[in-house]
Structure 1
Amino acid sequence: MSPQPTMIEPQHELDRRNQTFWSELCGSGLARQLGITDASRESLARFDHAYMALYPYLSRYVPADQLRGRRVVEIGLGYGTLGQLLAGVASEYHGIDISPGPVAMMRHRLAQSGIARGSAAQGSALDLPLHDASVDFVYSIGCLHHTGDVGRSVEEIHRVLRPNGRAVIMLYNQHSFRRLVWAPLSYVRHGWFLQRRRPALADFARASYDVDSQGAPAPHTDFHSRRDIRRLFRRFSSVTVESQNIDPWAVVGRIVIPRERLLGSLGRILGLDLYVVARK
């Protein structure tokens, strides 16, 4: 008997689930750690400071001198730290997110900061509400790998970029230390392989990434290798890929090497994230 074909979730159903899941802002966990319960100017400034300290390399991908006078689009808005940074220097900023929660936060930030040349709206990375060759920069940090169709997202980004325009994209690294070493060891240590109703190793690893406040994982998450990225961005004239981000080195729950010491070493080789800078 031939095997049953794998059921593929219809895109409209995945879009609906993503819209619901991401209404809880990405970054809410950090906000809870900081004790932030409102969206006042002071609270958001405290969140942004902690966020940039957590990802100190991010500022390298936001060259203020090159963004001034440019039209910038961000896909996937989260808590709005990057969006506010971009909107503060670009001549025109447009934020796009599939879910209403991040859009509301970004609109709040823009109004609170008095940035009149910025906007945020619901939309899909798979069908960007933008004209061809109409923007100078597209940013998407940690969003496209949740869409269910990264290839189509990249094609849309290529379409809306002007000649010589740039895309700055973060995708999860298929060959990270977490996926290659931590996940298999943790799977064995917890005895999942002995359970009759055990999760697949890939599903177990995926659940260690984005989860909501109830511990439920994101509806869909893809992981990519550098080779995958070269293929996805093959229509761009130049592409650079850098590994960033890493977990602390822990043994039996005890941190042996803090994350800060690994960011510039192991994180640059087997990091959680791949940062792509692609020029059209």
Structure 2
Amino acid sequence: MAQTDVDSRNAQFWDELCGSGLARSLGITENTPESLQKFDHAYMGMYPYLQPYVTDEDLAGRKVMEIGLGYGTLGQLIASRGCLYHGLDIAPGPVAMMRYRLEFLGQDLGDRIRQGSALEIPWPDASFDCVYSIGCLHHTGNLPRAVAEVHRVLVPGGKAIVMLYHRHSLRQVIQIPVRYVRDRLSGRRRFASFGEAARAYYDTNAQGEAAPHTDVVSRAQVRQSLFRQFSRVRIDSQNFDTYVLLRGRIVIPRERFLNNLARVLGTDLNIVATK
């Protein structure tokens, strides 16, 4: 698929806010401050390991950018830490949501929340002390270029805090192939190819359609290729799936795997890289 097609499809697909499925499960139908607080509480309850990537950083007075804004939970947390927050998303919906959230923080937004591509970040070289991108860059269609752009806009000594999907996760290695074969054998062929079915295991919209593009990476790829231009790289895997076995008679919640098996075979690679 041509890059222009990926960009166009991403802008359409991600206009439905990432996290909309969680919002629907919570019965959230409007974006009041109370509803967003309810969403944020549930989101951070699902991904408790994300908060320290914000609260453990000294962001006060720093210029910080987030790429991939979604429902805005992490962005609002970052912006509340006393930094000069900037946001970038390829779709208009997340941009509007982040602007809406930051109005409640009383921030003068100017043009700091922009619609645009991570492959052509619309800020000059060495603009930011820290760049966050949780679960976004692997959807761009050109992951090496996206990481290079993050490196470009960081000041020397600046940090990139990035989540990418893990090639060697239990989901990727076992669950997705098993599920695909099982569905094919049973005659359920919702997706035209294995690649599309795999993408759907990670991200779908309200219509059940898979994200247009998804990359998965290994730790070695992160260190030896994608982030090799950074001076220091730290990687931690997290996130896991809930397992339902014996037709529902045994349910093992995902929380039991966090901070143990998820640290080895987790779905996500959380990367902290210093320029």
After TM superposition, the score normalised by the length of structure 1 is 0.92
Alignment of 1:263-278 (within 5 A): 263-278=258-273
| Conservation of the 8 A alpha-carbon contact between 2:19 and 2:71 | yes
CA distance in 2, matches of 1:46, 1:198: 34
CA distance in 2, matches of 1:196, 1:44: 36
Extract unaligned runs of 5+ from structure 2: none
Residue 246 (structure 1) aligned with residue 257 (structure 2): no
Aligned-partner residue type, residue 110 of structure 1: L
Task: Quickly say closer, same or farther: Cα 1:48–1:196, change in 2 above 3 A.
Answer: closer
Alignment of 1:253-268 (within 5 A): 253-254=247-248, 255-268=250-263
Secondary structure of the 1:36 match is: coil
Residue 205 (structure 1) aligned with residue 186 (structure 2): no
The answer for the alignment partner of 1:6 in structure 2 is none
Alignment of 1:103-142 (within 5 A): 103-116=95-108, 119-142=112-135
Number of aligned residue pairs: give it: 272
Out of 18, 31, 40, the residue aligned to residue 23 of structure 2 is: 31
**How much does 1:28 deviate?**
0.3
CA distance in 1, matches of 2:57, 2:80: 12
Higher mean C-alpha displacement, 198-207 vs 85-94: 198-207
CA-based RMSD: 1.9
The answer for the alignment partner of 2:60 in structure 1 is 68
Alignment of 1:148-227 (within 5 A): 148-192=141-185, 199-227=192-220
| Conservation of the 8 A alpha-carbon contact between 1:142 and 1:169 | yes
**How much does 1:256 deviate?**
2.9
**How much does 1:79 deviate?**
0.2
Higher mean C-alpha displacement, 187-196 vs 41-50: 187-196
**How much does 1:136 deviate?**
0.2
**How much does 1:199 deviate?**
4.4
Aligned-partner residue type, residue 58 of structure 2: Q
Aligned-partner residue type, residue 45 of structure 1: Q
CA distance in 1, matches of 2:81, 2:14: 27
Task: Quickly say closer, same or farther: Cα 1:196–1:109, change in 2 above 3 A.
Answer: closer
**How much does 1:90 deviate?**
3.5
| Conservation of the 8 A alpha-carbon contact between 2:130 and 2:159 | yes
Task: Quickly say closer, same or farther: Cα 1:182–1:115, change in 2 above 3 A.
Answer: same
Task: Quickly say closer, same or farther: Cα 1:179–1:193, change in 2 above 3 A.
Answer: farther
CA distance in 2, matches of 1:267, 1:94: 31
Secondary structure of the 2:118 match is: coil
**How much does 1:227 deviate?**
1.1
Secondary structure of the 1:235 match is: coil
| Conservation of the 8 A alpha-carbon contact between 1:71 and 1:90 | no
| Conservation of the 8 A alpha-carbon contact between 1:88 and 1:115 | no
Residue 56 (structure 1) aligned with residue 56 (structure 2): no
**How much does 1:65 deviate?**
5.1
Task: Quickly say closer, same or farther: Cα 1:32–1:279, change in 2 above 3 A.
Answer: same
Aligned-partner residue type, residue 33 of structure 1: S
Higher mean C-alpha displacement, 66-75 vs 181-190: 181-190
Secondary structure of the 1:15 match is: helix
Structure 1 runs (4+) deviating above 6 angstroms are 193-198
Higher mean C-alpha displacement, 188-197 vs 167-176: 188-197
Out of 66, 81, 91, the residue aligned to residue 73 of structure 2 is: 81
